[in-house]
Amino acid sequence: MNLSGRVRLTVNGQPVEVPAGASVAAAVAHVTLQFRRAVHGEPRAPLCGMGVCFECRVQVDGVAHVRACMTPARDGMRVQTDD
């Protein structure tokens, strides 16, 4: 977090700014509603919002299968959704 109470990170290479305390899910939603691709290729986005459904899985700083809704956004994070 910087002095302005905002957090700056990138989602699929695009810079995004969210309030301090916001989730990675919120940051992703500023860029795309497609978080992951399901087994048969359909796009998916968060369903439960509370860490239960695993539909919001993304890659954070190279780590796969991170639940975006459970992860606070941090300065400099690099978030990648499924292509």
Partner 1 sequence: MTERYDVLIVGAGPAGLAAAQAAASHGARVGLLDAQARPGGQVWRHDVRRAAPRAARKAIAALHQVEILTQHHVVACEDHALLVETPQGAERLTYGALVLATGARELLLPFPGWTLPGVAGAGGLQALLKQGWPIAGKRVVVAGSGPLLLAAAATLRAHGARLLGIYEQAPAATVNAFARQLLHWPARAAQAISLRARLAGVPYRCGSIVRSAHGEGQLGAIEIEGARGVHRLECDQLAVGYGLVPNVELAGLLGCAMEHDGAHPQVQVDSLLRTSVADVHAAGELCGIGGLAAARIEGAIAGHAAAGDDEAATALLPQRAQARRFADLLRRHFALDPRLHALATPQTLVCRCEDVTLAALDGFTDARAAKLATRCGMGACQGRICGSALAELGCFPRGGVRPPLFPARLATLALAESEPSFSDEYRGN
3-state secondary structure the chain: CCCCCEEEEEECCEEEEEECCCEHHHHHHCCCCCCEECCCCCEECCCCCCCCCCCCEEEECCEEEEEHHHCECCCCCEEECCC
Min. distance of Cβ 23 from partner 1 in angstroms?
4
Can you give the binding site for partner 1, defined by CB under 8 A?
18-23, 25-27, 29-30, 33-35, 38-40, 42-55, 57, 65, 69-73
Min. distance of Cβ 32 from partner 1 in angstroms?
9
Min. distance of Cβ 60 from partner 1 in angstroms?
10
Alpha carbon distance 46, 24 (integer Å): 11
Smaller CB separation from partner 1, 13 or 50: 50
